[in-house]
């Protein structure tokens, strides 16, 4: 059996939540995720209209990475927001993230979606370099803002 990229089932979200917890609780993020909170996040995303989830599975049918997000209607275009993309640390820099993005591009082309976008850490760290290498650009006219409540 060879590596497979396919759409995620709801059952796959359990395995994805373990990967998510491991990756985002480690450097460089060091965020306080648990497998329960990660599962809830991924399940919430999967229940949002326009959801697409994609997984990369190795030859033993073990997930090594995934991408989840939602298609959104804009005034005269359709866009896709990548909520999360996550690849196991020990398998990063092997092309898995790029394979996931290319699989997504094929789906979005069929659905006549014009743009995919995401939010990531600024700076010359691995995430920004990875996304630039895969054709993403910074939109200078946009800013990310938050409000603590």
Compute the distance between CA of residue 120 and CA of residue 47 in angstroms, rounded to an integer: 22
Q: What is the pLDDT of residues 82-127, one digit of tens each?
A: 999 999 988 888 889 999 999 999 999 999 999 999 888 776 567 8
* pLDDT tens per residue across span 23-54: 999 887 889 999 999 999 999 999 999 999 99
CATH number for the domain whose boundaries are 4-133: 3.40.630.30
Model-level pTM?
Answer: 0.90
Q: Where are the domains of the chain?
A: 4-133
Rounded-to-integer distance, Cα 70 and Cα 120, Å? 16
């Amino acid at each position: 059996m060879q590596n497979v990229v396919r759409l995620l089932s709801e059952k796959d979200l359990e395995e994805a939540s373990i990967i998510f917890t491991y990756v985002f609780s480690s450097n460089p993020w060091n965020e306080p995720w648990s497998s329960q909170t990660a599962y809830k996040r991924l399940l919430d995303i999967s229940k949002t209209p326009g959801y697409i989830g994609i997984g990369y599975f190795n030859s033993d049918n073990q997930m090594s990475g995934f991408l989840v997000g939602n298609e959104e209607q804009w005034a005269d275009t359709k866009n896709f927001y990548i909520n999360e993309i996550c690849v196991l640390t020990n398998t990063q820099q092997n092309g898995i993230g790029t394979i996931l993005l290319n699989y997504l591009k094929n789906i979005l082309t069929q659905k006549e979606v014009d743009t995919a976008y995401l939010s990531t850490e600024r700076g010359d760290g691995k995430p920004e370099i990875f996304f630039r290498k895969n054709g993403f650009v910074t939109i200078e006219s946009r800013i990310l803002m938050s409000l603590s409540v």
